[in-house]
Structure 1
Amino acid sequence: MQNISVTVIRKLLQGVLVSGSEHWFVKHAIYYNRHDLTQKNTLMFINKSESINWKEIDHKGPSLVISDKPLSELKNAFENTTVIQVKSTLQAYWKFIEYYRGLFDIPVVALTGTCGKTTTKEMIKHIASKDWNVQASVSSKNEPRQSLPYLTGIDKTTKAAVFELGLGNTGNIKHQCMIYKPTIGIITNIGVHHLDGCKNLEGYIKAKSEILEGLSEDGTLIINGDDENTKKVPLHKFKGKIITIGVQQHADYKASNIEFTNNGMKFILQVSNEKYTIFVPGYGEHQVYNALAAIAAIKEMGVSIQTAISRLKTFKPMARHLEFSTGLGESTIIDDTWTNNPTSVEAALKVLDTIGKDKKIILILGDIKRLGLFEEKYHREIGSMVAQRDVQMLITIGKRAEDIAAQAKKDGTTAEVHIFKDVTGVLEILKPKLDKDTIVLIKGPMSSRSMIEFANQLKEK
Structure 2
Amino acid sequence: MKNMTLTQIAKACNGNLFFDKDYDGREISGVVMDSRLVEKDYIFIATVGERVDGHSFINEVFDKGAIAVICEKAPRNPKGPYILVENSLIALKNIAIWYRMQLDIKVVGITGSVGKTSTKEFISAVLSMKYNVLKTEGNYNNEIGLPLTILKIRDNHHIAVLEMGISDFGEMHRLSEIAKPDICVLTNIGYCHLENLGTRQGILKAKSEIFDFMKEDGKIILNGDDDMLATIKKFKGIIPITFGFGKNNDIYATNIKADGLYGSTCDIHAKNCLIQANIPLPGEHMILNALAATLVGITLDMTYEDISSGIEMVKPLGGRSNIIRQEKRTIIDDCYNANPVSMKAAIDLLTKADTRKVAILGDMFELGKEEKELHEEIGAYVSAKAIDTLICVGKLASYLYDEASKSFQGTLLYYENREELIKELPSITKEGDTILVKASHGMGLENVVKALLI
TM-score range, shorter chain: 0.7 to 0.9
Cα displacement string for residues 162-221 of structure 1 (whole angstroms, at most 9, x for unaligned residues): 110011222222111111111011111111111223233332222111112232121111
Distance 1:441 1:305 in 2: 35
- On the 8 A contact 2:358/2:388 being kept in 1, the answer is yes
Distance 1:235 1:287 in 2: 25
Provide the residue aligned with 1:2 in structure 2: 2
Q: Secondary structure, in 3 states, of the residue corresponding to 1:231?
A: helix
Q: Could you tell me which runs of 5 or more consecutive residues in structure 2 were left unpaired when the two chains were aligned.
A: 48-52
Give the CA deviation at 1:222: 0.9
Provide the residue aligned with 1:365 in structure 2: 361
- On the 8 A contact 2:422/2:448 being kept in 1, the answer is no
Give the CA deviation at 1:29: 6.1
Structure 2 CA distance for partners of 1:14 and 1:171, relative to 1, 3 Å: closer
Provide the residue aligned with 1:403 in structure 2: 399
Distance 1:293 1:332 in 2: 29
Which amino acid is 2:361 matched to?
L
Provide the residue aligned with 1:379 in structure 2: 375
Which amino acid is 1:105 matched to?
D
Structure 2 CA distance for partners of 1:57 and 1:145, relative to 1, 3 Å: same
Give the CA deviation at 1:23: 1.9
Pair 1:457 & 2:420 matched: no
Provide the residue aligned with 2:323 in structure 1: 324
Tell me the TM-score normalized by structure 2: 0.86
Alignment of 1:55-70 (within 5 A): 55=59, 59=63, 63-64=67-68
Structure 2 CA distance for partners of 1:332 and 1:25, relative to 1, 3 Å: same
Provide the residue aligned with 1:177 in structure 2: 176
Give the CA deviation at 1:66: 6.2
Q: Secondary structure, in 3 states, of the residue corresponding to 1:209?
A: helix
Structure 2 CA distance for partners of 1:345 and 1:12, relative to 1, 3 Å: closer
- Report percent identity of matched pairs: 27
Alignment of 1:92-111 (within 5 A): 96-111=95-110
Distance 2:114 2:103 in 1: 30
Aligned pair partner of 1:446 in 435, 438, 441 = 441
Q: Secondary structure, in 3 states, of the residue corresponding to 2:448?
A: helix
Give the CA deviation at 1:101: 1.2
Structure 2 CA distance for partners of 1:39 and 1:324, relative to 1, 3 Å: closer
Provide the residue aligned with 1:80 in structure 2: 80
Distance 1:202 1:341 in 2: 17
Name the Cα RMSD after superposition. Answer: 3.3
Structure 2 CA distance for partners of 1:427 and 1:391, relative to 1, 3 Å: farther
Q: Could you tell me which runs of 5 or more consecutive residues in structure 1 were left unpaired when the two chains were aligned.
A: none
Pair 1:122 & 2:121 matched: yes
Give the CA deviation at 1:426: 5.9
Structure 2 CA distance for partners of 1:103 and 1:388, relative to 1, 3 Å: same
Which amino acid is 2:6 matched to?
V
Cα displacement string for residues 410-429 of structure 1 (whole angstroms, at most 9, x for unaligned residues): 3x222322111123256647
Provide the residue aligned with 1:394 in structure 2: 390
Provide the residue aligned with 1:351 in structure 2: 349
Distance 1:91 1:326 in 2: 45
Distance 1:432 1:235 in 2: 51
Structure 2 CA distance for partners of 1:63 and 1:363, relative to 1, 3 Å: same
- On the 8 A contact 2:59/2:79 being kept in 1, the answer is no
Which amino acid is 1:393 matched to?
T
| Structure 1 segments of 4+ aligned residues over 6 angstroms from their partners | 11-16, 34-37, 44-47, 85-94
Alignment of 1:9-408 (within 5 A): 9=9, 18-21=18-21, 22-28=23-29, 38-43=38-43, 55=59, 59=63, 63-64=67-68, 78=78, 80-83=80-83, 96-232=95-231, 234-261=232-259, 263-327=262-326, 330-353=328-351, 355-356=352-353, 359-408=355-404
- On the 8 A contact 2:128/2:310 being kept in 1, the answer is no
How many matched pairs?
Answer: 446
Cα displacement string for residues 248-290 of structure 1 (whole angstroms, at most 9, x for unaligned residues): 3511110011111272110011012111211110111101001
Segment of structure 1 superposing worse, 372-381 or 281-290: 372-381
- On the 8 A contact 1:115/1:344 being kept in 2, the answer is yes
Give the CA deviation at 1:95: 5.7
Q: Secondary structure, in 3 states, of the residue corresponding to 2:450?
A: helix
Distance 1:87 1:367 in 2: 39
Structure showing greater radius of gyration is 1
Provide the residue aligned with 1:421 in structure 2: 416
Provide the residue aligned with 2:50 in structure 1: none
